Amino acid sequence: MMLLQTLLLFGTQALAYIRPAPHPDSHITRSGSELQLNGKRWTSSGANVYWLGLDENVIPPAGEPFYAPLNASYPTKGRITEVMTTLNVMGARTIRSQTMGVSVGNPLSLMPELGKVNEKAFESMDWTVYQAKKFGLRIFAPLTDNYDYYHGGKFQFLRWRGIDIKSTGTLDPKVQEFYNNRTIIDDFKNYIKILLMHRNPLTNLTYAEDPTIFAYETGNELGGPTFGDKNVSAAWTKEIIEYIKELAPTKLAVDGTYGINESHLNISSVDIFSDHLYPVNIEKLSKGVAAVGSVDRVYFAAEYGWTPPVNLTDFFTWIENQQNKTKPIVSGDHFWSLFMHNVPDCSTFVDHNDGLALQYGNPKNPAHYIAQISKIRQHLFKMQGQVVQAESPPAPCPGE
Ligand SMILES: *[C@@H]1O[C@H](CO)[C@@H](O)[C@H](O)[C@H]1NC(C)=O
Ligand SMILES: *[C@@H]1O[C@H](CO)[C@@H](O)[C@H](O)[C@H]1NC(C)=O
Ligand SMILES: *[C@@H]1O[C@H](CO)[C@@H](O)[C@H](O)[C@H]1NC(C)=O
Ligand SMILES: *[C@@H]1O[C@H](CO)[C@@H](O)[C@H](O)[C@H]1NC(C)=O
Ligand SMILES: *[C@@H]1O[C@H](CO)[C@@H](O)[C@H](O)[C@H]1NC(C)=O
Ligand SMILES: *[C@@H]1O[C@H](CO)[C@@H](O)[C@H](O)[C@H]1NC(C)=O
Ligand SMILES: *[C@@H]1O[C@H](CO)[C@@H](O)[C@H](O)[C@H]1NC(C)=O
Ligand SMILES: *[C@@H]1O[C@H](CO)[C@@H](O)[C@H](O)[C@H]1NC(C)=O
């Protein structure tokens, strides 16, 4: 692996803030506002790859598991492996993946019905963890979703207890039962336990034990009745994080509230606070980083829209310059989102309908997309203290 990386990085120079080698068996730890690997600063930039556990963008061959009402299917092993080889070439260190943590409510889910476990759903997740480790990549995953997408989320937990409310627009205040109702909180904790206690046969480690999964996030873009209101119970956040750490003492925890809720800053078990930036916005970023720095914790820009005409230069420079400081506070940023080939078909790229799919090396990418992807790659290496040329080398497609 190191040899391959060295060959790919020919012509590069190391900067002052060299990052440590991957050490896949060591846990990522937090010291104040810095993440560390074996006692040295570790940066966590990379990509969102939401579909690694379960996808919605490919209709599989007849006979393969498929849930047509939601277009849900398991990704092939080759698609997962290709993500790892691609992110390695791109200089990423971290993957954020919804479906490595959220999988409820449809027949292909980890929990199709309340309390029922579908072991088959672990196969793509297990393969993801195993392959990520080979490339020194780390994963973090939200445990539920604020929305009602194919992979499920808080609305599914509410429905399971008879609270069947509309999931768009201004929401019924009953949506807050997800954070406040003891029965539903315990259902969610039971789900977390099933996920974290699963032993991966490819590593013989539970997800709770495996250092490849360095953190869990309480949820994706969590809020209350009004979009963006950050109305997530502090007591719930504290209880869920304490439960994660009880099951998995070496895991770091991310507050999954969408944006920095200042009233959560005093929850001592939160390691990482995060925000999503659509579009990138230095004022919002720097305010959030200052708030999180005031309590000596870590900040992630855990999603940002990357597609032109958004100009990423100042955003990247701001984050890179932060790395020179004694307290960097912002430890990583993660573009939304990566898609590659429809492996085993290495000639067709999978697309997603949000206009934000980054397809590294797609010959159909227009010039301004190629330039943007090159900028992202240079940034990902810079976050590890390395300078790479603007030209993006090809990433191998495994073909199976
Ligand atoms: C941060 O450090 C890098 C590498 O030493 C250097 O290129 C860059 O100019 C520094 N930025 C600031 C603001 O000092
Ligand atoms: C499933 O995929 C087909 C083909 O791409 C599309 O027409 C359909 O709208 C999708 N269904 C859902 C629920 O997304
Ligand atoms: C929680 O939800 C359950 C199931 O819907 C319901 O029976 C119970 O009354 C609720 N508890 C509270 C405190 O609202
Ligand atoms: C926030 O949610 C709580 C219930 O968890 C509710 O009592 C309160 O009114 C909500 N606040 C706002 C501003 O919506
Ligand atoms: C897997 O790990 C368990 C628990 O640490 C241990 O008892 C078992 O022997 C291991 N199995 C293999 C095949 O290594
Ligand atoms: C923050 O969280 C608290 C609960 O701890 C909630 O009452 C409040 O509405 C949230 N939103 C903001 C903007 O603080
Ligand atoms: C955080 O501060 C609020 C008041 O601002 C308080 O109600 C709450 O108990 C504190 N939480 C913790 C975990 O200290
Ligand atoms: C992006 O922003 C940088 C710095 O503000 C500027 O130098 C550059 O010209 C901009 N790029 C484009 C394509 O507008």
Closest CA to 202 of 191, 194, 210: 210
Q: In sequence order, which residues have a C-beta less than 8 Å from that of residue 233 and are 6 or more positions away?
A: 176, 179, 180
Give the residue whose CA is nearest to atom 1 of ligand 3: 181
Pocket test for ligand 1, best of 17, 18, 324 (most atoms within 8 A of CB): 324
Pocket test for ligand 4, best of 146, 175, 176, 178 (most atoms within 8 A of CB): 176
For ligand 6, which residues put their CB under 6 angstroms from it?
A: 229-234, 261, 263
**Could you report the per-residue pLDDT of 155-210, keeping only the tens digit for each?**
999 999 999 999 998 899 999 999 999 999 999 999 999 999 999 999 999 999 99
Residue 215 host element (H or E): strand 213-217
Pick the atom of ligand 8 nearest to 311's CA: 1
Rg (CA), the chain: 20
- Residue 295: CA atoms inside 13 Å, Cβ hemisphere, count? 20
Note whether 286 and 259 are within 8 A (CB). Answer: no
The verdict on the CB of residue 29 being under 6 Å from ligand 2 is no
- Taking the centre of ligand 2 as the mean of its atom positions, its distance from the CA of residue 71, in whole angstroms, is 6
How would DSSP label each residue in 272-293? EEEEEESS--HHHHHHHHHHHH
Give the residue whose CA is nearest to atom 3 of ligand 8: 313
The verdict on the CB of residue 241 being under 6 Å from ligand 7 is no
Note whether 55 and 76 are within 8 A (CB). Answer: no
Give the residue whose CA is nearest to atom 8 of ligand 4: 231
- Taking the centre of ligand 1 as the mean of its atom positions, its distance from the CA of residue 84, in whole angstroms, is 29
- Confidence at residue 170, expressed as pLDDT on a 0 to 100 scale: 87
- Confidence at residue 400, expressed as pLDDT on a 0 to 100 scale: 65
Pocket test for ligand 1, best of 316, 317, 321 (most atoms within 8 A of CB): 321
- Taking the centre of ligand 5 as the mean of its atom positions, its distance from the CA of residue 199, in whole angstroms, is 10
Pick the atom of ligand 7 nearest to 268's CA: 13
Note whether 45 and 117 are within 8 A (CB). Answer: no
How would DSSP label each residue in 338-392? B--EETTEEEEE---TTS--B-TT-TT--HHHHHHHHHHHHHHHHTTTEE--SSP
* CA 97 to the chain's CA centroid: 4
For the chain, give the longest Cα–Cα distance.
Answer: 61
What tokens does 290 get?
């200052």
Give the residue whose CA is nearest to atom 1 of ligand 2: 71
The verdict on the CB of residue 317 being under 6 Å from ligand 1 is no
Neighbour-count burial for 221-242, b at 16+ CB within 10 Å, e otherwise: bbbbeeeeebebbbebbbbbbe
The ligand placed nearest to the CA atom of residue 233 is 6
Q: With respect to CATH, is domain 2-382 assigned 3.20.20.80? A: yes
- Confidence at residue 134, expressed as pLDDT on a 0 to 100 scale: 92
393: left (phi over 0), alpha (psi -120 to 50) or beta: beta
Give the residue whose CA is nearest to atom 7 of ligand 6: 231
Cα separation of 90 and 46, whole Å? 9
How would DSSP label each residue in 295-344? TT-EEEEEEEE--TT---HHHHHHHHHHTTSSS--EEEEEEE-B--EETT
What tokens does 49 get?
């790859």
- Taking the centre of ligand 4 as the mean of its atom positions, its distance from the CA of residue 329, in whole angstroms, is 30
Residue 94 host element (H or E): strand 94-96
The verdict on the CB of residue 174 being under 6 Å from ligand 3 is no
What tokens does 319 get?
């984050």
- Taking the centre of ligand 8 as the mean of its atom positions, its distance from the CA of residue 304, in whole angstroms, is 18
For the chain, list residues with pLDDT below 50.
Answer: 1-20
What tokens does 77 get?
């092993």
Strand partners, 94: 46, 138
The ligand placed nearest to the CA atom of residue 257 is 6
Give the residue whose CA is nearest to atom 14 of ligand 6: 261
Query: What is the identity of the amino acid at 381?
Result: F
